[in-house]
Amino acid sequence: MTASADSHALGVDRERVAELFSEELARFEALHPRSREQYSRGLRHFLYGAPLHWMQQWPGSYPLCVALAQGARLTDVDGHTYVDFALGDTGAMFGHANPTLVEAISTQLARGSTMMLPTEDAAVVGELLAERFGLPYWQVTTSATDANRFVIRLCRMVTGRDKILTFNWNYHGSVDETQVELDDRQRMVPRTGVHPNAMHHEQTTRLAEFNDLAAVEEALAQEDVACVLTEPVLTNVGIVPAEAGFHAGLRRLTRQYGAALVIDETHTISAGPGGYTRAHGLEPDFFVLGKSIAGGIPVAVWGTTAEMAERIWKVLPHFKPGQEINHFGFGGTLAGSALQMAAIRATLEKVMTEENYGHMIGLAERMERGVVEMVRRRALPWHVTRIGARLEYLFRPAPPRTGGEAHRARHALLEAFIHLYLLNRGVLLTPFHNMALMCPFTTEADVDLHNQVLDECLGVLVDEEGRRA
Ligand SMILES: Cc1ncc(COP(=O)(O)O)c(C=O)c1O
C-alpha cells in the first residue's frame, strides 16, 4: 500500500502524525522528570527498565511512575493526576483501591493469606460463581493465562485429542498454542515477534478467522480438535463483534464434532454482571475469567458443566486418603488462597452489582455518543464499538468481521500519538489499543474530559470538514 493510500485510508496524514508525536514526546519528557529518574534507575536491574516489559510499551519515552491510584484516578511521582480509563488493562476494572475490596483483602491478610487449605469463604465463592455464571463446578488459578492453559490440558485429557482451534489475532495470555497468526496467504505461522517455544504448532493448533463458520467446520471436521478457545468477541486487536448466528453455529459445530467450547470472558466481563455469556445466552463447556474479580489480587477462575465434570473425574478421580498424591499437571501453590477467596467473595457480593454495571455502562454510552459525533463531524473513516462498559475506536469505517481485518486497520504511530496527546492532558487510555474502560468511580465529568481532549487531538489532525490539518 502506498503512503498516500495508507494516509487516505486512515483519514489523517502520517507525516503530520509523526511530527506531532515528536512534539508530544518532548512535552512528555518536560512534564515527567521524576518518572524518568525512576526509569533510569530501573534500567540498571530490570531487563526492560521496569518489572514487566509491557510497562515499557506505553506511548511515552518511559513509563509513568505511579505514586497513588484510587478510584478512577492515578497520580504519578511528578504530581500529575490522570483520569484512568486503562484501569490496569482491566485488572482494576472495579476501581483502584476500591474501599470495599481494600477492607475485605486487608482483613483476610491479617488473618492469614495462604494456607493451601480452604476457608469458609471458599464454599460461598463456589456458590456465588455457580449462581452468577450458570456452571456448577469451578477451580481457581493465579492468572487467566494459567486458567486457559489448564483448561486446554483438561480438554486434551478428556477428549484424547491434541489440537485446539482458536482465532486469528486472538489473545488469551502467553498460551503457547495460541501464539500463531495467518500470513497473507492464510497459512498459520508463529505470531510475529513471539518465539515458537519449541511448539510445533501444526501439531497443536488450528487457526481460523473469527466469524468464519465454514473455516471452523473445516478445522473441526477432522475430529482431532480437543477444544475451541475464544473470547465471545475479540477484544485484543480492536474489537471484532460476533456476527448474528456465529455463536449458535460455533456451539452446533463443537457439539457435532466433539470439541469442547471454551469461552474466555477476561475482557468481555465488561458486558454485564454475568459477562457476555449470560447477556447472550451462550452455553460454554468451560468459562474462563481473570484479572478483575479480586481487586487486583492475582487470580482467575474457570468453571465447567456437570457433564464435563463427569468426564474429568473419569480421568482424574477425587483423591482417596492413602493414595499416592497426583499433581494432575495443573494447579499452583498460591491458587485458591484465602486472600483470593476473600477478595472474590467481596467482588461478587458487593462490587460486581447490577447497580455498578448500570453506572459504568451509562458512562460508556455517553463516551460512545461523543466519539461517534466527533468522528462524524471530522469525516474520519473510523468507527466505535462498545461492549458494555468497554469502548474502543478503530481506524476503519465499519467494525471488522475478522481479526485479520482488524489488525490491518491498526496504525501503531497514530495510536501512540492519540494516547500520548491524551496522557499529556490528564487522560489515560489502555496501551496496545484505543480502549477506554469505565469503573464504578468514573464520573460524567471524566468522560467529558476524555471527549473534549480527544476532540482537540483530532482537531490538530483534521479540520471539521475532514481536511487534513
Ligand atoms: C481475553 C484474555 N484472556 C487472558 C488474558 C491473560 O490474562 P493474564 O495476563 O492476567 O494472565 C488476557 C490478557 O490480556 C486476555 O485479554
CA distances from 263 to 18, 34, 109, 148, 332 (A): 39, 42, 32, 10, 22
Q: Are 430 and 436 in contact (CB under 8 A)?
A: yes
Ligand 1 contact, 173 CB (< 6 A): yes
Nearest-angstrom CA–CA distance, 246 and 358: 27
Nearest-angstrom CA–CA distance, 69 and 328: 39
Ligand 1 contact, 267 CB (< 6 A): yes
Confidence class of residue 387 from pLDDT cuts 50, 70 and 90? Answer: very high
Would the pLDDT of 327 be above 90? no
Range with lowest mean pLDDT among 7-11, 109-113, 242-246, 254-258:
7-11
Q: What is the mean pLDDT of the chain?
A: 96
User: 166 CA distance to ligand 1 centroid (A)?
Assistant: 15
The ligand 1 atom nearest the CA atom of 90: 14
pTM, to two decimals: 0.97
For ligand 1, mutation pick of 266, 287, 299, 435 (most atoms within 8 Å of CB): 266
The ligand 1 atom nearest the CA atom of 170: 1
Ligand 1 contact, 144 CB (< 6 A): yes
User: 9 CA distance to ligand 1 centroid (A)?
Assistant: 31
Q: How many of the other CB atoms lie within 10 Å of CB of 293?
A: 25
Give burial (CB, 10 Å; 0-12/13-18/19+) of 31. middle
| Paired residues of 387 in beta bridges | 390
Nearest residue by C-alpha to atom 14 in ligand 1: 173
Would the pLDDT of 356 be above 90? yes
Q: Which residue has the higher pLDDT, 468 or 98?
A: 98
Q: How many of the other CB atoms lie within 10 Å of CB of 195?
A: 10
User: 172 CA distance to ligand 1 centroid (A)?
Assistant: 5
Give burial (CB, 10 Å; 0-12/13-18/19+) of 367. buried
Domains recognised in the chain with CATH numbers:
3-96+354-459 (3.90.1150.10), 112-351 (3.40.640.10)
Ligand 1 contact, 172 CB (< 6 A): yes
Ligand 1 contact, 433 CB (< 6 A): no
Q: Residue 109 — left, alpha, or beta (φ > 0 → left; ψ -120 to 50 → alpha)? A: alpha
Give burial (CB, 10 Å; 0-12/13-18/19+) of 1. exposed
At residue 276, the pLDDT reads: 98
User: 266 CA distance to ligand 1 centroid (A)?
Assistant: 6
For ligand 1, mutation pick of 291, 293, 297, 392 (most atoms within 8 Å of CB): 291
Nearest-angstrom CA–CA distance, 388 and 354: 12
Ligand 1 contact, 290 CB (< 6 A): yes
Confidence class of residue 355 from pLDDT cuts 50, 70 and 90? Answer: very high
240-264 pLDDT tens trace = 999 999 999 999 999 999 999 999 9
Ligand 1 contact, 231 CB (< 6 A): yes
Would the pLDDT of 28 be above 70? yes
427-468 pLDDT tens trace = 999 998 889 999 999 999 999 999 999 999 999 999 877 677
At residue 5, the pLDDT reads: 41
Grid cell, residue 308, equals 464435563
Would the pLDDT of 2 be above 60? no
Confidence class of residue 299 from pLDDT cuts 50, 70 and 90? Answer: very high
Q: Are 234 and 278 in contact (CB under 8 A)?
A: no
Average pLDDT over residues 90-117: 98
Average pLDDT over residues 279-301: 97
At residue 6, the pLDDT reads: 58
Question: Percent of the chain scored above 90 by pLDDT?
Answer: 94
Nearest residue by C-alpha to atom 9 in ligand 1: 173
User: 142 CA distance to ligand 1 centroid (A)?
Assistant: 11
| Paired residues of 260 in beta bridges | 227
Ligand 1 contact, 171 CB (< 6 A): yes
Ligand 1 contact, 90 CB (< 6 A): no
For ligand 1, mutation pick of 54, 235, 267 (most atoms within 8 Å of CB): 267
Q: How many of the other CB atoms lie within 10 Å of CB of 369?
A: 13
CA distances from 310 to 42, 261, 314, 326, 330 (A): 50, 16, 6, 18, 18
Would the pLDDT of 3 be above 60? no
Ligand 1 contact, 265 CB (< 6 A): no
Average pLDDT over residues 388-413: 96
The ligand 1 atom nearest the CA atom of 236: 16
User: 288 CA distance to ligand 1 centroid (A)?
Assistant: 10
Give burial (CB, 10 Å; 0-12/13-18/19+) of 319. exposed
Ligand 1 contact, 149 CB (< 6 A): no
DSSP class of residue 54 equals: G
Would the pLDDT of 65 be above 90? yes
CA distances from 116 to 139, 320, 336, 339 (A): 14, 18, 8, 11
∠ CA 298-300-303, nearest 5°, is 165
| Paired residues of 428 in beta bridges | 84
∠ CA 317-318-324, nearest 5°, is 85
195-204 pLDDT tens trace = 999 999 999 9
At residue 7, the pLDDT reads: 62
Average pLDDT over residues 333-360: 98
The ligand 1 atom nearest the CA atom of 173: 6
Q: Are 24 and 413 in contact (CB under 8 A)?
A: no
Ligand 1 contact, 145 CB (< 6 A): yes
Confidence class of residue 4 from pLDDT cuts 50, 70 and 90? Answer: very low
User: 232 CA distance to ligand 1 centroid (A)?
Assistant: 14
User: 156 CA distance to ligand 1 centroid (A)?
Assistant: 21
Q: Are 263 and 232 in contact (CB under 8 A)?
A: yes
Give burial (CB, 10 Å; 0-12/13-18/19+) of 194. middle
Ligand 1 contact, 264 CB (< 6 A): yes
Nearest residue by C-alpha to atom 15 in ligand 1: 172
In SS3 terms, 210-262 reads as CCCHHHHHHHHCCCCEEEEEECCCECCCCCECCCCCHHHHHHHHHHHCCCEEE
Average pLDDT over residues 386-399: 96
At residue 1, the pLDDT reads: 37
129-185 pLDDT tens trace = 999 999 999 999 999 999 999 999 999 999 999 999 999 999 999 999 999 999 999
Ligand 1 contact, 302 CB (< 6 A): no
